[in-house]
């Protein structure tokens, strides 16, 4: 199978590219001139220079491919205009769909986000693919509108599959290095009471689910939650990180309003210097949102099975941090 991957140099994209190459698929990676392509070169992935916001580059890159796996997205920036998210996440997805149509691509897979669900009024209720998507933040809204753009362009013409993915972790995830460092110094605070829930998923499991969608027509025109199989509280998660680091468990608990106040100040301060703040309201949402997702549909329709437990995810991530001498 010949597959074009956008966002191939990212965390999920790199792992997926390697998995596909190992089974013999021909992989083309849409990359920027500034991208770190070293891992893709090792895997003998073909490179095509462009960007999802550049339709002509997508048109050229997707010629003669069977499937497009669209992963590229703007996720983290805080001090940027909202149009920055829509240009990449919404219109970029529309460009992918249009290029697929122009080149008669057989299947498009889009990695959306569980943030598409937005504000969940009943946090004790399990979130399924039928849960209404409302009142999202800027990232979640831009990803959800990307879903709508994909459907609008492809419905009845080319099969698509949409994955709403939770937090992805595992070896290669640098996002929690600062948390690990502060835990090691015994100064990392728990925001709120630490009892809100999370369901992160291992990056290899994400790759495995996408490959199932590639191979099974049952995935056509479907939306799937792609989240971890275990429900963890933030307190459990941090305690286990501390345990793997052989340090004291978090002992400092800071009320959400106070931490939000600090985040706003930090955002404004770093906006002055045109830099990304180390603390933001977006980042502390990780600690205050309470989510329970169902992956039953994915398991029943595609036969998806988890290969990694939460404990394995944390252990692997911390070991990788140690190997790289970050902690």
- pLDDT value of residue 78: 62
**3-state DSSP assignment of residue 135:** coil
Average pLDDT over residues 290-307: 95
Average pLDDT over residues 172-190: 90
Q: Which of 77-86, 123-132, 169-178, 209-218 is the least confident region?
A: 77-86
User: Rounded CA gap, 245 and 102, in Å?
Assistant: 51
| Contact (CB, 8 A) for 71 and 16 | yes
**CATH code that applies to domain 2-172+199-229+292-308:** 3.40.50.720
Count of all residues that appear for the chain in the document = 327
Q: pLDDT tens digits for 187-240?
A: 888 888 889 899 999 999 999 999 999 999 999 999 999 999 999 999 999 999
Average pLDDT over residues 10-17: 96
- pLDDT value of residue 277: 83
> How many Å is the Cα radius of gyration of the chain?
20
Nearest to residue 4, comparing CAs of 188, 201, 214, 151? 214
Compute φ and ψ for 221, nearest 5 degrees.
60, 35
Q: What ranges in the chain are assigned the alpha helix state H?
A: 11-22, 38-42, 55-61, 82-85, 91-102, 138-154, 177-184, 203-215, 234-245, 256-272, 281-288, 296-302, 310-323
Q: pLDDT tens digits for 52-89?
A: 999 999 999 999 999 999 999 998 766 678 899 999 99
**3-state DSSP assignment of residue 187:** coil
């Amino acid at each position: 199978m010949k597959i074009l991957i956008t966002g191939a140099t990212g965390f999920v994209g790199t792992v997926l590219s390697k998995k596909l190459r190992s089974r013999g698929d021909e992989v083309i990676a849409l990359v920027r001139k500034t991208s770190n392509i070293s891992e893709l070169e090792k895997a003998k992935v073909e490179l095509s220079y462009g960007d999802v916001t550049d339709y002509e580059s997508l048109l050229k890159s997707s010629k003669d491919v069977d499937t497009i796996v669209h992963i590229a997205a703007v996720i983290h920036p805080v001090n940027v205009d909202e149009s920055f998210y829509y240009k990449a996440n919404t219109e970029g997805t529309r460009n992918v769909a249009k290029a697929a149509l122009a080149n008669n691509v057989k299947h498009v897979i889009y990695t959306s986000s569980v943030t598409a669900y937005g504000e969940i009024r009943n946090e004790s209720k399990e979130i399924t693919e039928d849960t209404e998507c409302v009142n999202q933040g800027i990232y979640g809204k831009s990803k959800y509108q990307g879903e709508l753009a994909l459907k609008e362009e492809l419905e009845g013409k080319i099969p698509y599959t949409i994955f709403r993915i939770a937090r992805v972790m595992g070896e290669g995830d640098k996002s929690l290095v600062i948390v690990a460092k502060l835990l090691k110094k015994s100064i990392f605070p728990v925001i709120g009471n630490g009892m809100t829930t999370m369901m992160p998923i291992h990056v290899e499991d994400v790759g495995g689910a996408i490959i199932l969608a590639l191979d099974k027509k049952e995935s056509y025109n479907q939306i799937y939650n792609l989240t971890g199989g275990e429900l963890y509280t933030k307190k459990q998660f941090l305690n286990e990180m501390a345990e793997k680091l052989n340090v004291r468990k978090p002992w400092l608990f800071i009320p959400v309003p106070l931490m939000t106040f600090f985040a706003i100040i930090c955002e404004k301060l770093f906006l002055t210097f045109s830099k990304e703040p180390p603390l933001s309201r977006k980042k502390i949402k990780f600690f205050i949102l309470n989510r329970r997702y169902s992956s039953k549909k994915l398991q029943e329709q595609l036969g998806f099975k988890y290969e990694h437990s939460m404990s394995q995810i944390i252990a692997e991530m911390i070991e990788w941090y140690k190997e790289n001498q970050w902690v």
